Chain A
Amino acid sequence: MFERYWLFAAFCFIAVVILVRLVLRERVTLQASLSLLLLLGLMSFVALFPNVASRLAQTMGFTLASNFFFAAGIGALMLLHVHSLVTLSRVELRSITLTQELAILREKLDQLSEKS
């Protein structure tokens, strides 16, 4: 019989609540936080049903379920990090383009106001 990790599940739940509050306050977008919410949901599931994770670990050749848990966690965090990098780079490029466009428009405006 597997014991359930209530404390860890509660921690994950609190993290989900914080994230949802941030989404509601429009501090982060739902689109950007969806992958983290999914990860937290999976971690909560594993905390409440560790036998599933244990079977999966055995199937994948891990001697200890904890090793599998850490490996999966590191892998998931790396994926999240790459996702954040892509998002950040996209935003940076858009910001550069917008700054350039703004400078060009301001220059045009200066020219027009000088002519009039």
Chain B
Amino acid sequence: MEPAFPWQARSGLPYLILATTMFLTRDRCGILRAVRVLLVIPALNEEAVIGSVVEELKQAIESGAITGEILVIDDGSKDRTAEIAHKAGARVARMSRNLGIGGAVQCGIRVALREGFDGAIQVDGDGQHPPSEIAKLLEVGAREPASDLVIGTRYLSSDGFRSTFLRRLGGWWLSRLLRVVAGASVSDPTSGFRLYGKRALELFDRNYPYDYPEPEAVAIAMAAGLRVTETPVVMRDRQAGRSSIIGYRTIYYMLKVTLAVMLAYVRNRKR
């Protein structure tokens, strides 16, 4: 007589089939909910928008879409960024002086690593990154083989905010450079919407670039043998403030980042 349930079978095959089916059709959301992440928000003079960013993320946590905590890194703001973020319900680490985005992000990475989080998600403090898109990063991070660094890219999706032509051109150049130098396939290397896995946390705790860090961080990750992937996300236009890379700084940015990517890869590659 055929057994009604797999566990009634004498052979181990039904168990294997059941286990495989469960693995393949597992409730992804359930697994993602089990991942405890630290949402790191580097912010500098973002009083106009930081409150709503924190509240949006808080709602996502309360709804159960994300398991984790929110940490705002106030990078030496002169306004009420820290106070508003704290009132909105975030943990706030206040820098005594401005370190730049790299120093702020690394501070968040250090907290995530020390407090045993499974990963950290970098979210901009200017409201560009909708919390609803975090699930996409987590899903790619949970996929096998596991990714150590997942980058949310705005260029693989036709929806949402698109940056200016010059910025896209700069992004294209850095993307090509990363492909040639580090073998990375990243279409939006300047995106600050990222998921850092455990190995990335350990790496960037020791070594994270301070000045315009995003493309260089990809080169460091690739050189260290980490798995870097990307996923299309929808981004919004910044809700307040403006980019620090304007005017002559654009030329400095491109020169500095180009050189930094090459040097970072050579310096950090596994021997």
Contacts and interface: CB of A to CB of B under 8 A. Distances in A.
Given A96-B103, A96-B210, A103 B91 contact: no
A95 B86 CA distance: 26
A74 B6 CA distance: 84
Contacts of B226: none
Contacts of A107: 71, 91-94, 111
A110 B91 CA distance: 9
> Chain B binding site: helix, strand, loop or mixed by DSSP?
mixed
Size bracket of the B interface? 10 to 19
Contacts, number: 38
Contacts of B73: 103
> Chain A binding site: helix, strand, loop or mixed by DSSP?
helix
A34 interface: no
A96 B98 CA distance: 9
A96 B96 CA distance: 10
A15 B209 CA distance: 39
Size bracket of the A interface? 10 to 19
A104 interface: yes
Interface string B139-180: 000000000000000000000000000000000000000000
A50 B18 CA distance: 92
A94 interface: no
Given A96-B103, A96-B210, A102 B91 contact: no
Top 6 nearest A-B pairs by Cβ distance?
A: A103-B93, A107-B93, A100-B107, A103-B95, A96-B103, A99-B95
Interface of B: 71, 73, 86, 91-97, 99, 103, 106-107, 110-111, 114, 210
